[in-house]
Structure formats: structure tokens, C-alpha cells
Amino acid sequence: MDLYQQLILDHSKAPVRAGLREPFDAEVHHVNPTCGDEVTLRVRVADGVVEDISYAAHGCSISVASTSILAEEVTGRPVPEALDTYAAMKAMLTSRGQVPGDEDVIGDGVALSGVSRYPARVKCALLGWAAFTDALARAGVDIAATSTDQPVTAAQAPSPTPEPRS
């Protein structure tokens, strides 16, 4: 078993910040109809910082691990940084292996990079992240106006310029 597989297993067996807590500013419930994964997620935002994420996640190891990684990586961060982390995770997971994860931005999220080659599992990995952005919006955060930077996806990356022939 490689390090990434072990990280996924660790996060799925002992999820970080799991359990629904109060106080919270918004609560959402998301379901992946394809496989039945479910997450109820609460977010607390104060002074532009994600103060707490609590959740109850039920489903496959990828879904639970990804939600655990979300809670670990964005709790305590300013909302714009948290949204940049979401954007980087989404870019990596939807790239079909073309966008490598940046550990400086997504931390343990890089362990899920291999999921991008399995479209049916991408929904599992993004379930908690989608719930997070939904919860932020319900808490009154303007998602579109808050992100500080958008990562470059493979489709947006400049094509290599061919060298001139002599």
C-alpha cells in the first residue's frame, strides 16, 4: 500500500473534525445519487475565517476521506483561501489526471489525485467540497466574489509553442 492509499484509509477510518457541532451558521445535506454517499455539513464563519466545519459523512472511503481532508485543510483559514483550496481540489479531481495536485494548496488532498482517472468516483470525492461551498453560500458568503485566485486547469494551460524549423 502506498502513502496516498494509507492517507485515504486513515482519513476514512478516523475522520478529522467529524460529528455535528454547534454553533453553526449554515447546515446542508448532500447526497450522491449514483452511489448513495451522504454528507450533512455545518459551517461557522466569523470575521471572514472558516472557524469550524463539522459533518456527518456516510459512504465510501473516498467520500469520507475527502470530507475529512476538507475539514482539516480549510478550518481556520480565511474564506478566500478556503475557496482557493476548493478550486484546486476540483481542478485536480476533474482533470482526468492532467492537473497534478499542489500539496502547498490542498495538503493531504493530493492523496486523492488518482481518483481523477475514475469519473464515477470523482463525484464521491467532491461531495463534501460541494456541500462546503453550498454551506458557505447559505451562510451569506458571496462565493463568486470571494476567491482570490483560480488555479490553471489543463484546458487553460498554454500550449507548448513548436520550435521553428530551419
Cell numbers placing 102: 499542489
Query: What single DSSP character describes residue 19?
Result: B
Question: Can you give the pTM of this predicted structure?
Answer: 0.86
Buried b (16+ CB within 10 A) or exposed e, 60-84: bebbbbbbbbbbbbbbebbbebbbb
Helix (H, G, I), strand (E, B) or coil at 26: strand
Supply the pLDDT for residue 148.
58
Query: What single DSSP character describes residue 6?
Result: H
Supply the pLDDT for residue 3.
86
Query: What single DSSP character describes residue 37?
Result: -
Supply the pLDDT for residue 74.
98
Supply the pLDDT for residue 145.
83
Supply the pLDDT for residue 103.
95
What topology is assigned to 3-145 in CATH? Answer: Sufe protein. Chain: A (3.90.1010)
Q: Provide block-wise average pLDDT over 10 residues at a time, the chain (166 residues).
A: 89 97 98 96 98 98 98 98 98 95 96 95 98 98 74 37 37
